[in-house]
Structure 1
């Protein structure tokens, strides 16, 4: 079986964001045999506020930005979502990106890494609801960073990400769960594709 591909999706695009620090940390610390990890920064995709007809068409969207996003999402067997907590929920940019495509998400697995005043726990819970509707299986282990204890200089131009050591073990546990689920769900997708060809 070929390597699994896991996308680390950085879900904030606002000026002064700190999510890219967390995404880079995940990339530097996530490891598993036979698994490739890639940071996917929403800031690079410039998705407009949802401008696609319903229902969405897999791999055949109207806008160039939508097609670029869809093709990137389709490359992965699973995802680690890096999300801040904005007003007790996920960033608008992340919700928009999730809504932009549909079939490319289905029967994949995901882990959640969040940050905020309470570790981003409420954003994580909202994200789980959205992922469930998209047929993305989210794993139990949730990695949460506090803006008070895992960052220094938060709210200034000199902010630094200084995560506590315990978070590495949490990420290891998440990656272990995610790889198992992503591998199993890839088999589900392959079986469904084979059945479609035979029909």
Structure 2
């Protein structure tokens, strides 16, 4: 391994944490705050929060060869550089009707190269299933964007009774263990893929 690659693997990772829900009364920001509190103790990572309630992307994308509207360009200028700079992603998502929020799919569809050859982890919440059905659908979507999904995820079951007022899980030890396990996988994949992209651009 070259000295340059060694230096890359000792540099902190940039991780974009995406809050997927935009509904009024959502729990997403509280869940994200809890996760960031756990993740902050891991070391070796710096986090950027992307709250989709603050990203005003239109639902309709331009066709092939079309140009984004001024509204879309303004929203993209705010979010695209964060995704492009990220070495990895964590999606904080609820489960709506056995799936994930439309705002998240819209964000994914507006981007392409920003996702490629990078890892993504999941923190899900919702009902008895803990949002796992949303995560399984997201694995299929991210596979199409050439993004590597982490095997282990963080699943918060029954959040309306399983979360404290500050958004922290009541079964803190179990949930923190799951978060640390997922972050360990994310760290390995993010550093490995960052080195690989530097040595040979993806798709080359």
Higher strand share: 1
**Alignment partner of 1:131 is 2:142:** yes
**Aligned equivalents of 2:54 and 2:13: distance in 1?**
23
Helix, strand or coil at the partner of 1:38: strand
Find 1:11's aligned residue among 20, 45, 57: 20
Q: Name 2:45's counterpart in structure 1.
A: 35
Please, which runs of 5 or more residues in structure 1 have no aligned partner?
153-158
Q: What displacement does 1:187 show? A: 1.4
1:22 to 25, 31, 41: 31
**Which has the higher mean CA deviation after the structures are superposed, 164-173 or 183-192?**
183-192
**CA offsets, 1:64-102, max 9 Å, x none?**
212332212101000110000011000011111111100
SS in 2 for 1:135: coil
Q: TM-score, normalised by structure 1?
A: 0.85
2:151 is equivalent to residue 140 of structure 1: yes
Please state if 1:161 is matched with 2:171: no
More helix by share: 2
Give me the TM-score of the superposition, normalised by structure 2: 0.83
Q: What SS does the corresponding residue of 1:5 show, helix, strand or coil?
A: strand
Aligned Cα root-mean-square deviation (Å): 2.2
How far the C-alpha of 1:29 sits from its partner, in A, is 0.6
Whether the aligned pair in 2 keeps the contact of 1:56 and 1:102 (CA below 8 Å) is no
Report Cα offsets for 1:16-55 as digits up to 9, x if no partner.
1111111111111114332112222111211111323337
User: Number of paired residues?
Assistant: 186
